[in-house]
């Protein structure tokens, strides 16, 4: 009955507050450019790319450099406030709503990335650690395929 919309852990507002606090509490300045980037990350549900963030920020501050986007993302990564999905073949994508490892489903045609609900990773991590002797710190799980929209257009 209820939608297939995926509610984040917290709403965008709360996430923005968390990010701002993470910066402020460590003495980082809240500049207009940074604020704009944080807002985009906190509100977006589509795992934006560096380019798309840059485009959005430039709509408000036209002189914004690409380097500023990269710098801010690097900072947020260090503070654990954003999850980077790095890809070998194309640019990275970022999740500011769930800055911790979680599965993703990626459309290989249009590039859409969505967050499925899932829990079973923790048990699997446990098993892996047990069997291999590794002390596992994090993981990355991507599913690839065609989204419903792109299936129609086939």
Give the alpha-carbon dihedral of 50, 26, 64, 67, to 10 degrees: -50
Residue with tokens 């606090």, as numbered in its chain: 21
Residue with tokens 């829990």, as numbered in its chain: 119
Strand partners, 83: 95
Binding region for DNA (CB under 7 A) out of 56-64, 100-108, 123-131, 143-151: 56-64
Q: Is 79 in the site for DNA (CB under 7 A)?
A: no
Q: State the binding partner of 105 from DNA, Mn ion, a second copy, none, CB within 5 to 8 A by kind.
A: a second copy
Do 42 and 15 meet the contact criterion of CB atoms below 8 Å apart?
A: yes
Member of 15, 22, 33, 53 binding DNA (CB under 7 A): 33
Q: Footprint of a second copy on this chain (CB under 8 A)?
A: 4, 86-89, 92, 103, 105, 107-108, 114, 116-118, 120, 124-125, 127-129, 131-148, 151
């Amino acid at each position: 009955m209820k939608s297939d919309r995926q509610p984040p852990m917290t709403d965008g507002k709360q996430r923005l507050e968390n990010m701002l606090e993470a910066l402020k509490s460590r003495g980082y300045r809240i500049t207009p450019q940074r604020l704009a980037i944080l807002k985009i990350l906190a509100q977006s549900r589509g795992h934006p790319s560096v380019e798309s963030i840059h485009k959005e920020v430039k709509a408000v501050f036209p002189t914004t450099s690409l380097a500023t986007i990269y710098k801010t993302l690097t900072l947020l990564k260090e503070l654990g406030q954003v999850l980077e999905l790095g890809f070998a073949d194309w640019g990275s994508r970022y999740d500011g709503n769930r800055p911790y490892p979680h599965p993703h489903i990626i459309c290989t045609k249009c590039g859409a990335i969505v967050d499925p609900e899932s829990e079973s990773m923790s048990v699997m991590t446990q098993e892996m650690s047990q069997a291999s002797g590794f002390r596992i710190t994090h993981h990355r799980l991507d599913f690839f395929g065609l989204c419903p929209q792109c299936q129609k257009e086939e």
